[in-house]
Structure 1
Amino acid sequence: MEKRPTINDVARLAGVSKRTVSRVINGASNVGESTRRNIQRVIDELGFSPDKQARGLAASRSYLLGLIYDNSDALFIDQIQRGALDVCARSGYELVVHPCDSGAADHAEKCVSFVQRSNIDGVIILPPLSESVALAAVLRQRKIHYVRLASLDLDDHTNIVVSDDRAAVSELARYLVSQGHTSIAVITGPMHYHSSAERLEGLTETLAALGGEVPQSHIFEGNNTYKSGVEGARSLLQMTPRPRMIFANNDEMAAGVLRVAHEMGIAVPDELSVAGFDDNLLASRMIPSLTTVRRPVAAMASLAAQKIIRKIENSADVETDSYQVRSQLIIRESTRKTAK
């Protein structure tokens, strides 16, 4: 059986001390670039893989990042994991995923218990849990590294990645006005979420500035599920006159609107335009394909993982890291210019 290469082998062939090899493995900054490249070359040639438990003990950390969520959208969670895992793989960290009920009175303590029980070095917190003031406060109090993904500026820039949902939906509103839409309805998410309020206000305030409006009767509060999209569409499309355009707070609810329109014999986009938010993996595959706001969640997760790792490793870069990503309006088949 072939002997597995050790850190001593790397040090001998690279002509350096074991301590210097350890510094390179742990990403320390106090190693010259030529020495670092030489050690990395030897590591690659030998196929050396440091023992993670020993590595963690030497660096006083576990090399584990946590991902805490309370979101029923499996496609959203999948994209987040892909973004975070890509950074973890390059940086030698593992990702531990943990669900948490943001509605529970003790959710903050339960999250902290998970972090301490699993010996997590830092956590990425997804919406809507990321909006919890109590959770952010207890993480700061316990000196646990965290980064929140959110729709607006809720925290210090080193602790947050923002998608600016208001600006993104404002762009959608301007597009709808350019297409002649005046009869617009909205299926919101739960209105106690910042993200739902930001998206609704981004739409209504921009429409108002352009001379349009969304009547209160044309606003249905959903809960970001396909089922509530169906319920909202049935309520709105039974109105007389019915709206000619429905914006849903996420793509999952927009899919429910398309289903109801099909059942009621309402042609999309000839008789009804539909738009969503997220640009999840199914948005381009629906029939018709869905006009939506592309929120770059994988990029947000990647940036959050980078921030966490830099915090853990006491990097000065985290102070100057970008904290905001730009969402983009994606126009597809489900919207069109209204008939005169």
Structure 2
Amino acid sequence: MPAKSKIPKAGEPARAATINDIARLAGVSKKTVSRIINNSPLVRQDTREKVETLMREVGYVPDPLARGLAFRRSFLIGMVYDNPTAQFIVNMQYGALDTLRGSGFELVVHPCDSRSPNYIDSVRRFVQQQKLHGVMLVPRVSEDQALADMLAEIGVRYVRIAAVSLDAPERMVVTHDRDGAAEVADYLQSLGHTDIAMITGPRDYRSSIERSEGFVAALEARGITLPPGRVVEAGYTFESGVAAAETLLGGKKRPTAIFCGNDEMAAGVYRVAMRAGISIPRQLSVVGYDDSPLASRLWPPLTSVRRDTRDTGRISAAMLLLAEGAPRQMASVRPHLIVRDSCQPPG
């Protein structure tokens, strides 16, 4: 007869409990334990409570990959990203985990370099090896139509997070970056600023395009033109913000306000202003975008456009958990300006 599995006693080498251990100790079948793990209604309440208590006592955690094999589907949600801002990615993960907690699904992440010639093939391998239930596409990879086409070709559901709608409504979470940037323009003009500069993100990022065009259009609607010399492209990083600020603040005639495409670049402006003895906001008003934790930690606290990244992650993951064929609509996350102490009327 085959040896019975057992949970190690004190002093024995530790071994993770298995579903067979739980079934044996609870005096039920392995199938019953499996039904309880997957929230099946075909189990008596007293049996469910007994087995769940036992699982907690022995620290049993179901393996999502094994469950996927048993049910011919995966219990894994993937998040694919190529983004230089670490806090943005962390907040997106937190939001996804908020949704997945208690659902039986787990989150796996795949950072990639979208400029690499074989990055789409690497994403394909990741998705197929993990047998993903669905994929969250985070900017900038969400803007790549070839990547979305590949996922559709292999039959994997996905959700794209982007500044504008790029796909079928049921596959989109739109962040409306143009509207957020327009609100910044209106705010700076209301303070009396007319000599305004802008530090943009990379020109091949859709978010950068939308923020730049939204800002310029809103200023022009109020009779303010942004000269080419007042626009500097950077890379959404602190270091690139420093370099851009040195260009804008190194001349004889400095702008009275700078709008930065994200908070990391705004922090770079703070660094250069401090070194040059330029007072924020008395001599220079600064506005960022994202309202990351960094915004409230700078001194003076940074006025910034809030786009709730954590909520975006929650919504994206929730869309992937909807049953196949269930009606899904395009989701929106609206930005709004958070006014702090980094701006005042020009001196």
Give how far 1:41 is off: 5.2
- SS of 1:61's equivalent in the other structure is coil
Distance 2:237 2:144 in 1: 21
User: Unaligned 5+ residue runs, structure 1?
Assistant: none
Amino acid at match of 2:333: V
SS state at 1:243 partner: coil
2:305 equivalent among 287, 293, 315: 293
- Equivalent position of 1:335 in the other structure: 343
- Distance apart, 1:279 and its partner CA: 1.1
**1:217-256, aligned counterparts within 5 Å?**
217-256=229-268
> How far does the alpha carbon of each residue in 1:148-192 deviate from its partner, in whole angstroms, 9 at most, with x for none?
111111111221211110111111111111111111100001112
Q: Partner of 2:5 in structure 1?
A: none
Comparing 61-70 with 220-229, greater Cα deviation is found at 61-70
- Name which of 293, 312, 324 aligns with 1:314: 324
Paired letter, 1:189:
G
Relative to structure 1, the CA distance from residue 40 to residue 82 in structure 2 (aligned partners, 3 Å threshold; closer, same or farther) is farther
- In 1: Cα distance, 2:187 partner to 2:67 partner: 53
Deviation of the 1:105 alpha carbon: 2.2
Q: 2:207 aligned with 1:195, yes or no?
A: yes
Identical-residue share of aligned pairs (%) = 42
Shift of 1:69: 1.1
- Matched with 2:81 is 69
Contact 1:250 1:276 (8 Å CA) reproduced: yes
User: Structure 1 residues 249 and 55 mapped into 2: Cα distance closer, same or farther (>3 Å)?
Assistant: same
Alignment of 1:252-267 (within 5 A): 252-267=264-279
Distance 1:262 1:67 in 2: 38
1:324 correspondence with 2:332: yes
How big is the shift at 1:10? Answer: 7.9
> What is the match of residue 133 of structure 1?
145
Residue 171 (structure 1) aligns with: 183
Aligned to 2:123: 111
User: How many Å separate the matches in 1 of 2:33 and 2:164?
Assistant: 42
Counterpart CA distance in 1 for 2:25 and 2:329 is 37
Moved more, 227-236 or 96-105: 96-105
Pick closer, same or farther for the CA change 1:214–1:96 going to 2, 3 Å.
same
In the alignment, the residues of structure 1 paired with residue 295 and residue 212 of structure 2 have an alpha-carbon distance, to the nearest angstrom, of 20
Q: Which stretch shows the higher mean deviation, 42-51 or 188-197?
A: 42-51
* Alignment partners' CA distance in 2, 1:151 and 1:306: 19
Check whether the contact 2:79–2:135 (CA below 8 A) recurs between aligned residues. yes
> When the two structures are aligned, how many residues end up with a matched partner?
327
In the TM superposition, residue 54 of structure 1 has moved relative to its aligned partner by: 4.2
- Counterpart-to-counterpart distance in 1, 2:174 and 2:27: 43
CA contact (8 A) 2:174 2:330 kept: no
- Kept in 1, the 8 Å contact 2:186–2:219? The answer is yes
Contact 1:228/1:256 (CA < 8 Å) preserved in 2?
Answer: yes
Separation (CA, whole Å) in 2 of partners of 1:54 and 1:133: 32
Deviations 1:125-164, CA, capped at 9 Å, x for gaps: 1111111111011111111121111111111122121111
Partner SS state of residue 51, structure 1: coil
Query: Is the Cα–Cα contact under 8 Å of residues 151 and 195 in structure 1 kept in the other structure?
Result: yes
Q: Give the secondary structure class of the aligned counterpart of 1:227.
A: helix
Letter of the aligned partner of 2:230 in structure 1?
H
CA displacement at 1:199 relative to structure 2: 0.1
* Distance in 1 (alpha carbons) for counterparts of 2:88 and 2:205: 17
CA gap 1:238/1:51 in 2 versus in 1, 3 angstroms: closer
Quick one: which of 62, 71, 81 aligns to 1:51? 62
